[in-house]
Chain A
Amino acid sequence: MEANLHFPDPSVVREELIQKYPTKVAKKRAKSIIVNDPEIIPEVQANVRTVPGIITQRGCSYAGCKGVVLGPTRDIVNIVHGPIGCSFYAWLTRRNQTRTESLMDANYIPYCFSTDMQEENIVFGGEKKLKIAIQEAYDLFHPKSIAIFSTCPVGLIGDDVHAASKEMREKFGDCNVFGFSCEGYRGVSQSAGHHIANNGVFKHMVGRNNTPSVGKFKLNLLGEYNIGGDAFEIERIFDKVGITLVSSFSGNSTVSQIENAHTADLNVILCHRSINYMGDMMETKYGIPWMKVNFVGADSTAKSLRKIAEYFGDEGLKAKVEEVIAEEMPRVKAIIEEILPRTTGKTAMLFVGGSRAHHYQDLFSELGMTTVAAGYEFAHRDDYEGRDVLPKIKVDADSKNIEELKVLPDPELYNPRKTEAELEALKEKGLEINGYSGMMKQMTKKSLIVDDLSHYESEKLIEIYKPDIFCAGIKEKYVVQKMGIPLKQLHSYDYGGPYTGFEGAVNFYKDIDRMVNNPVWKLIKAPWQKAAITNGKSKGLEASYVTQ
């Protein structure tokens, strides 16, 4: 069923969004608010500084480094060097599920470690306290690894977390200690922290264990953080088709898996934004190609499995993949067919993350829903426009501050898994080898793209479009719902999930059906208010907001 939707002229909407801003701000924001054309793919301003005071969704570099990338690995003791808050706020709030094999296995995810810097540490330096903290962590837990994360004041007072880590690493001998300069002010968003994390994990973890991994089809899952159990579902499917997961970066992962990652033959990337650096660096050093896949959406999952089978080029694997898809799909189809009549024709907006605002469009389209506007919180132009745009991206001062590792082929371990010609042939077949075509190509003409959406813009968009569902994060959740529009959190999944794979698709269909058709949205007005509306005394329920 084709949706019959009438939308306002997006270029008019664009003008309205920036109207209230001071001139300079309006000029800047205009470049981040783009009317999409999938044929041409217009340029989107992204990964630039947020206007102070505008009320942004964005967080900081530390959040991207510790919270996103390193947080999900269960057996690293992550010590946050700084005042208490940074460690406190990143404590268990991202829902990275993890499953140890036994009660004896290390799992530090439920713990929060901090040096709790005090004024004297700011004035006289905090390195001494940091080293004491590392020693205490080592004595208490004897972990395989200890990672140190720098918060804002650390960089400013000049504490050298790398030197301290090195000293302690050498002292212990049996514990890998390493640091991250992921101070919150670096870069313009969480994205800087992802890059810093990628560098650190690549330098200090990957390649430490050369034990050959066992299996015929060996891959690493990159940019998957096991929120709500997403990785569990992907692991289930991989098991079923006979794919060996060497390591995950970093959902449900362990230190030793990551240290062994370079023995895999393929890197598949889910969240391009947070982990593409790792894919590139591992290809250069070890010769492992990476491929963009998407396990959000049942059709996307099937497609991604077929791509993986195509990559390995094994007829047995291809047949097994088809068998598994044939086995999994009927249940998914049965459920979506039951739900479709209730969701078809509805509209969604997605403003979240660095890949989710793209991936979840697949699920909405499976639900017969149209994404009328979307944007990322911390993505770069390549996540919107595709990686072809990379050479054209101007490196500004904020990006220049983030180290680009100089990576060379490893003299012993470099082993190209595929020849250039083979890779080209795979690309011909539509596999996104070392590539990503971005969000805009998939979105309809005249849909609206907004990067780093401000609070003001979000309320205006809701007023104008009145979408049936809005997808963002916890800070937006209750604001949007106060306007009578359900908000689906795509960071925490509203404490549900998983949403990946076949099981995940079913979960998502059901959740969205429940949300957009929930009777509560019709209960907002009291009977006497409704009576007044009928009498023409008051306007009906409308999404809007009030500043005064």
Chain B
Amino acid sequence: MLLRHTTKEVKEREGLTINPAKTCQPIGAMYAALGIHGCLPHSHGSQGCCSYHRSTLTRHYKEPVMAATSSFTEGASVFGGQANLLAAIETIFSVYEPDIIAVHSTCLSETIGDDLQQITRKARDDGKIPEGKHVIFASTPSFIGSHVTGYANMVTGIAEQFAVSTGTKKNQINIIAGWMEPSDMREIKRLSKELGVKIVLFPDTSDVLDAPQTGKHVFYPKGGTTVEELQSTGDSIYSLALGSISAEPAAIALEKKCKVGFETLDIPIGLTATDRFIMKMSEVAKVSVPDEITEERGRLVDVMADMEQYLYGKRVALFGDPDQLLPLTEFLLDLNMKPVHIVSGTPGQRFEKDMRQLLDARSPETNFKNGLQADMFLLHQWMKNEPVDLLIGNTYGKYMARDEDVPFIRFGFPILDRIGHSYFPNVGYSGGLRLVEKILSALMDRQDRDALEEKFELVM
């Protein structure tokens, strides 16, 4: 047993987190910044932060993840990190020539009180930012929220610091991507194109973190939302924020700065969340939904109907991030499955309320906890008390799945031991189809493995 010390008995904890279902803000900020074209993320703190975040993102994507660090030493920690950041900006622009440096803070620079706004302004005043280049920033203290919060803060920073309202509206819709994979962003763009809606999607890590092998390392890959596109978001007719935790804050910032109205939707994972997305797009852009999309939807519903017997009542434990967990839970309910335990380390009353509302209506007995001590240790204990048929979560779940001998589907961040998430979407109807295929394969492989010889089925 790999997790042999995990006991069945659940004891309330106040100080100790064990096997967290979250990580810290800056990695989210780094990921978001990679979705801007020509941008180099910069970590204002100790070297370890940058190294850890790059390593984790690299393991997740199996792609280059470029980012720089302020390389704090004890001196910087005592006297402030301004000199380090100014030096970094100078070095980065001369050596790596980005269009944008996106600086995020860390627990270290936040604790000593470094003011990124003031330092980046000083960099500009001192002439360290070449003409036409940009340095943006986001405050991402690791001791608040989670990686999802950091993502949201950087996306908000991007919106606030780039969007311009020229007074002339553009016939386009902003889609603010909640934390999703490059494959998901590519799918959102494809669906929008099918719908005939002009969008600005940001951030957009497609063609950045799924770059082709060409024999050249393109330091700033062709993907990512461009500065021009970002500036134009201030003139868009509307914003759709996909995810109340990871995307909505940016939509609010845009509304505040440029008076672009917005609505927040779930990330379109599963049938009904995708339905809401398509309906909203069609409503806002005043387009009718093309037959191709209706047919895509039909294929997903068809599979759901044809395979319903293998899904019905199956008990699922899941952990991950709020904006994915909400629509995923809804989808599991649509599939007639039973989400039994749900855990997310990301705190927040909004998420708690939304999830409770969903569960109260459709699955009131589900165990659900988010925030402090809502960790995988707790989830595992719950699983020992009320066993499940399927576990869904990031790679760390494989230890629980192995110990409890439960089928496991990798979903969320980080996925360190499989590929696919960056290439095949989970969003949209096709993403739904992929999820159903994965769920069915996991459950049916298990059925095949465990069937008595006389019960082993050829046709299923």
Interface of A toward B, CB cutoff 8 Å: 20-22, 25, 49-63, 79, 82-93, 103, 106-108, 110-119, 121-122, 129-137, 139-141, 151-153, 155-157, 183-189, 397-398, 401, 454-456, 459, 473-475, 477-484, 524-525, 541-548
What chain A residues lie within 8 Å of B49 (beta carbons)?
Answer: 60, 85, 184
What chain A residues lie within 8 Å of B111 (beta carbons)?
Answer: 122, 152-153, 156-157
When the two chains form their complex, are residues B108 and A474 in contact, meaning their CB atoms are under 8 A apart? no
CB contact between A20 and one of B68, B76, B94, B214 (< 8 Å): that residue: B94
Minimum CB–CB distance from A141 to chain B (whole Å) comes to: 5
Q: Which residue of B lies closest to A105 (CB)?
A: B4
Residues 76-115 of chain B, each 1 if its beta carbon lies under 8 Å from chain A, else 0: 1100000011011111101111000000001110011000
When the two chains form their complex, are residues A545 and B217 in contact, meaning their CB atoms are under 8 A apart? yes
For window 221-264 of B, CB contacts with A under 8 Å fall at none
Asked if B141 is an interface residue, CB under 8 A from chain A, the answer is: yes
When the two chains form their complex, are residues B215 and A483 in contact, meaning their CB atoms are under 8 A apart? yes
When the two chains form their complex, are residues B73 and A49 in contact, meaning their CB atoms are under 8 A apart? yes
When the two chains form their complex, are residues B20 and A87 in contact, meaning their CB atoms are under 8 A apart? yes
Answer whether A131 and B55 are a contact pair too, CB < 8 Å, given A54-B95, A103-B1, A482-B214: no
Minimum CB–CB distance from A451 to chain B (whole Å) comes to: 15
Interface 9-mer from B40-48, B183-191, B320-328: B40-48
When the two chains form their complex, are residues A108 and B73 in contact, meaning their CB atoms are under 8 A apart? no
Top-7 shortest CB links A-B: A60-B48, A85-B24, A132-B15, A53-B88, A133-B15, A184-B46, A83-B142
Asked if B456 is an interface residue, CB under 8 A from chain A, the answer is: no
Minimum CB–CB distance from A78 to chain B (whole Å) comes to: 12
**Bound Cα distance A516, B55 (Å):** 24
Answer whether A83 and B16 are a contact pair too, CB < 8 Å, given A89-B55, A188-B73, A482-B216: no
Interface 9-mer from B5-13, B162-170, B172-180, B291-299: B5-13
16 contacts between A and B (CB under 8 A): A52-B69, A53-B42, A88-B23, A93-B59, A103-B1, A115-B16, A183-B77, A184-B46, A185-B74, A185-B77, A189-B47, A474-B55, A475-B51, A482-B215, A545-B219, A548-B220
**Bound Cα distance A68, B316 (Å):** 36
Answer whether A59 and B372 are a contact pair too, CB < 8 Å, given A52-B69, A83-B107, A546-B218: no
Minimum CB–CB distance from A129 to chain B (whole Å) comes to: 5
**Bound Cα distance A121, B107 (Å):** 12
Asked if B125 is an interface residue, CB under 8 A from chain A, the answer is: no
What chain B residues lie within 8 Å of A134 (beta carbons)?
Answer: 15
What chain B residues lie within 8 Å of A87 (beta carbons)?
Answer: 17, 20
CB contact between A185 and one of B65, B72, B95 (< 8 Å): that residue: B72
When the two chains form their complex, are residues A117 and B143 in contact, meaning their CB atoms are under 8 A apart? yes
**Interface residue total, chain B, C-beta cutoff 8 A:** 90
CB contact between B16 and one of A21, A136, A153, A454 (< 8 Å): that residue: A136
Asked if B58 is an interface residue, CB under 8 A from chain A, the answer is: yes
Kindly count the residue-residue contacts between A and B in the assembled complex, taking CB atoms under 8 Å apart. Answer: 291
Minimum CB–CB distance from B30 to chain A (whole Å) comes to: 11
What chain B residues lie within 8 Å of A121 (beta carbons)?
Answer: 143
What chain B residues lie within 8 Å of A189 (beta carbons)?
Answer: 47
**Bound Cα distance A62, B47 (Å):** 10
**Bound Cα distance A157, B113 (Å):** 12
When the two chains form their complex, are residues A136 and B96 in contact, meaning their CB atoms are under 8 A apart? no
What chain A residues lie within 8 Å of B24 (beta carbons)?
Answer: 83-86, 88
**Bound Cα distance A112, B147 (Å):** 17
Minimum CB–CB distance from A224 to chain B (whole Å) comes to: 22
Answer whether A459 and B20 are a contact pair too, CB < 8 Å, given A83-B143, A119-B143, A136-B14: no
What chain A residues lie within 8 Å of B54 (beta carbons)?
Answer: 475
When the two chains form their complex, are residues A475 and B55 in contact, meaning their CB atoms are under 8 A apart? yes
What chain A residues lie within 8 Å of B68 (beta carbons)?
Answer: 52-55
Minimum CB–CB distance from B127 to chain A (whole Å) comes to: 13
When the two chains form their complex, are residues B5 and A156 in contact, meaning their CB atoms are under 8 A apart? no
Asked if B407 is an interface residue, CB under 8 A from chain A, the answer is: no
When the two chains form their complex, are residues B216 and A545 in contact, meaning their CB atoms are under 8 A apart? yes
What chain A residues lie within 8 Å of B146 (beta carbons)?
Answer: 84
Answer whether A132 and B20 are a contact pair too, CB < 8 Å, given A51-B91, A111-B5, A156-B111: no
When the two chains form their complex, are residues A55 and B96 in contact, meaning their CB atoms are under 8 A apart? yes
**Bound Cα distance A426, B143 (Å):** 54
What chain A residues lie within 8 Å of B310 (beta carbons)?
Answer: none
CB contact between A524 and one of B48, B62, B213 (< 8 Å): that residue: B213
Asked if B335 is an interface residue, CB under 8 A from chain A, the answer is: no
**Bound Cα distance A325, B366 (Å):** 62
Minimum CB–CB distance from B81 to chain A (whole Å) comes to: 9
Residue of B13, B69, B73, B396 ringed by the most chain A CB atoms within 10 A: B73
For window 179-223 of B, CB contacts with A under 8 Å fall at 211, 213-220
When the two chains form their complex, are residues B94 and A397 in contact, meaning their CB atoms are under 8 A apart? no
When the two chains form their complex, are residues B71 and A49 in contact, meaning their CB atoms are under 8 A apart? yes
**Bound Cα distance A487, B348 (Å):** 42
CB contact between B62 and one of A50, A185, A455, A478 (< 8 Å): that residue: A478
Q: Which residue of A lies closest to B106 (CB)?
A: A152
When the two chains form their complex, are residues B216 and A475 in contact, meaning their CB atoms are under 8 A apart? no
Answer whether A118 and B372 are a contact pair too, CB < 8 Å, given A84-B345, A85-B26, A478-B63: yes
When the two chains form their complex, are residues A91 and B396 in contact, meaning their CB atoms are under 8 A apart? yes
Q: Which residue of A lies closest to B46 (CB)?
A: A184
Minimum CB–CB distance from B233 to chain A (whole Å) comes to: 24
Q: Which residue of B lies closest to A107 (CB)?
A: B4
**Bound Cα distance A157, B47 (Å):** 20
When the two chains form their complex, are residues B22 and A84 in contact, meaning their CB atoms are under 8 A apart? yes
Minimum CB–CB distance from A277 to chain B (whole Å) comes to: 19
What chain A residues lie within 8 Å of B218 (beta carbons)?
Answer: 482, 545-546
When the two chains form their complex, are residues A110 and B2 in contact, meaning their CB atoms are under 8 A apart? yes
Answer whether A111 and B3 are a contact pair too, CB < 8 Å, given A50-B71, A63-B52: yes
CB contact between A456 and one of B19, B95, B373 (< 8 Å): that residue: B95
Residue of A83, A133, A547 ringed by the most chain B CB atoms within 10 A: A83
